[in-house]
Amino acid sequence: MTTDARRHVSPGRLPATPTTQDRVTEAHELFRSESSGALSGTYPALATVDPGLFGLSVVTTTGDVISAGDAQTPFTIMSVAKPFVFALACELRGIESVRRFVGVNATGMAFDSTVPVERDQRGRTNPMVNAGAIATASLVPGDGVEARWEVVHDALSRFAGRRLELDHDTLASARATNHRNRGLANMLAAVGALEGEAADAVEVYTRQSCLSVTATDLAVMGAALADGGTNPVTGQRVVDPETAHATLAVMAIAGMYETSGDWLFDIGMPGKSGIGGGIVTVSPGKGALGTFSPLLDGAGNSVRGQLAARHLARRLGLDILASEESPPVR
């Protein structure tokens, strides 16, 4: 696949900062009392989070930060790390190489399902589900787990614009109970869909999932993808524009697991959720929305986060699929 260097990008803009702040505050007020959903039971530590927490943050491609509620409350990033590690792998190994090795098509199944691995002769799924994310983590180079982890840790921190720390309690909880992920890794290794040792890939994947972030961190990370790979808060180039494009594509395909089609239909933007309660939603050229609320629906997506994203997609003009009738040419 060749790249047309003459591609024209028409990003548009978010409303003025005071208007954006009013609308983010409005979304927080509208959905803060929503009580449906349940805390994740995947890892014991996630079941102890305060279910009332709810934070929203928008970061623009010009570096403005607009927040409401518990936007600075830390939580574990979980699967929201997946697109950013995919971006790292693409930078280090090449986009097409990662695409061929991991796959990019939606599975239509739960994030930890074994069926997609079994039905593809090469074990390919996509980078947004657990099997594909473990395969992606295995592509990060390094002499041993610690060296590979430092590459991942540094990349995710550059996306966030600050040094992210591990939540050691959640990491210990995940290590003690991640039997299914170990099984997925062994299945991948058996069909040659993993580089290196299965246990090493699972360890790197588990650590990346247990980094502590805030809703604002997620918005900054997403805004780097919205700005063609440059973190708009730090001004640092994190990945190149083609990698940012590829990352947003896989988020649109499968970022919300088996409900990704409904998400794109309703919200009209690439997004990625995690069972820690976070969602990052990206509007290319404009900015990103980070949300945190730990009550999840049956697919593992934050209930309040989805409601806020749907509301703000319209109120802030974030929906990349929306258009208006143009006046007739005379």
Contact 14, 302 (CB under 8 A): no
Q: Which domain holds residue 145?
A: 81-209
Q: Which residues are annotated as a binding site?
A: 79, 130, 181, 205, 257
Q: Which of 95, 105, 12 is nearest to 321 (CA)?
A: 12
Helices 303-315 and 17-31 pack at an angle, to 10 degrees, of 150
1 pLDDT more than 50? no
Does 181 score more than 90 pLDDT? yes
Average pLDDT over residues 232-242: 97
Domain assignment of residue 5, yes or no: no
Total number of domains constituting the chain = 2
Annotate 106-145 with b (16+ C-beta within 10 A) or e (fewer).
bbeebbbbeebbeebeebbbbbbbbbbbbbbbbbbeeeeb
User: Which residue positions form the known binding site for substrate?
Assistant: 79, 130, 181, 205, 257
Smallest CA-to-CA distance from 213 within 66, 55, 79, 72 is with 72
One domain, residues 91 and 172: yes
Helix pair 130-138, 179-190: axis angle to 10 deg? 60
- DSSP line for 151-181: HHHHHHHHHHTS--EE-HHHHHHHHHH-HHH
Q: Is the model more confident about 8 or about 186?
A: 186
What is the domain-level CATH number for residue 305? 3.40.710.10
Domain presence at residue 166: yes
| Residue 3 belongs to a domain | no
Query: Which pLDDT score, from 0 to 100, does residue 140 have?
Result: 97
Residues 166 and 227 in one domain: no
Same domain, 220 and 275: yes
pLDDT band at 127 (very low <50, low <70, confident <90, very high): very high
- Do the domain assignments include residue 288? yes
Do residues 31 and 74 both lie within one domain?
A: yes
Would you state the pLDDT for residue 3?
Answer: 53
Is 140 contained in some domain?
Answer: yes
Q: Which amino acid is at 224?
A: A
Tell me the mean pLDDT in the region 34-53.
95
328: in domain: no
Do 108 and 162 have their domain in common?
yes
Asked if residue 146 belongs to a domain, the reply is yes
Strands (E), 216-330: 271-273, 278-283, 287-292
Q: Which tens digits make up the pLDDT trace of 48-57?
A: 999 999 999 9
